[in-house]
Amino acid sequence: MTEEARNKLIERVQKLTKLAEAGGTEEEATLAAEKAQELMLKYAIAEHDLEAAGKPVEQVIEDVWHIDGTAYGSWIEKYRLLDIVAEHNSVKTLFMTLGRKQTGTVKLYGTPSDIEVTKLVFTMLELQMVSTMIKELRASKTSKKAQFRNGFYLGFRRRVEHRLYLAQQKFEEKTGPGTELVLASRLQKAEDAMPAAKEVNKQVKAGYAGYVKGQAAGDSADLGQARVQNEKQEITG
């Protein structure tokens, strides 16, 4: 794939994420994430075909990124969402060190295009996750704010992960049995570039009420009815 084609791909994903951010709903954010993933799955197959033909393709790189925590969400919660998005875009993540108390340093391994799309989709979903959590937390009037917040983020992540998994399964069924092997090979190349992994395993108390609200936020997207699809269908072809 030429540099021009790669730039066009990134621009299409940028348009999707900007539309979702402007709309401000979980429905639009989830749809945009699904459509971005579909674009990257098509891209992965195109790169595989080029490589099989002996033509140059993007190589796996290491990229360093910093995640800031806030009063409404720790870097750990955000990192866990990033890891989910990355895995579904052929990128592996590795948590490294803490800088400031509320900042985590993460290394990403994948092709430049896969990493760029991972960052775009994560940033979009993070915005929707935090903004919806704040709204639900205020409405709940609970005194156990930390547990509600942690439960919300857990529920949101699990729903997003499930939806991205279903989107990938649907794409694999549509494109044939060889697609799964192509994607597995691409993810394995990213994993091979990693040093030994360091687990992020900080235990937190998660409230059930927040968990239910988080699930609802992550599960509320009616992907066939979102305004993103109706207004900008040409973006994803």
pLDDT tens per residue across span 95-152 = 876 555 578 889 999 999 899 989 988 988 888 888 888 889 999 888 888 888 889 9
Q: Is this structure's pTM higher than 0.95? A: no
In a domain? residue 226: no
Look at the alpha carbons of 182, 188, 193, 197 in this order and tell me if their dihedral is positive or negative.
positive
- Let me know if residue 229 belongs to a domain: no
Q: Are 198 and 94 in contact (CB under 8 A)?
A: yes
> For the chain, what is the domain count?
1
| Cβ contact 125:81 at 8 Å | yes
62, β-bridge pairs: 109
Pairing mode of beta strands 92-98, 103-110: antiparallel
Q: Which two tokens stand for residue 52?
A: 């099989």
Residue 172 has pLDDT above 80, yes or no: yes
Residue 228 belongs to some domain of the structure: no
Q: What is the pLDDT of residues 157-168, one digit of tens each?
A: 998 899 889 888
Q: Would 46 be classed as within a structural domain?
A: yes
Establish if 152 belongs to a structural domain: yes
Question: Partners of 109 in the beta sheet?
Answer: 62, 92
* Assigned domain for 49 exists: yes
Range of the domain at 158: 3-220
Q: Is 62 helix (H, G, I), strand (E, B) or coil?
A: strand
Q: What are residue 70's phi and psi, to 5 degrees?
A: -135, 180
CB 17 within 8 A of CB 34: no
Residue 225 domain-assigned?
no
For residue 237, tell me if it sits in a domain. Answer: no
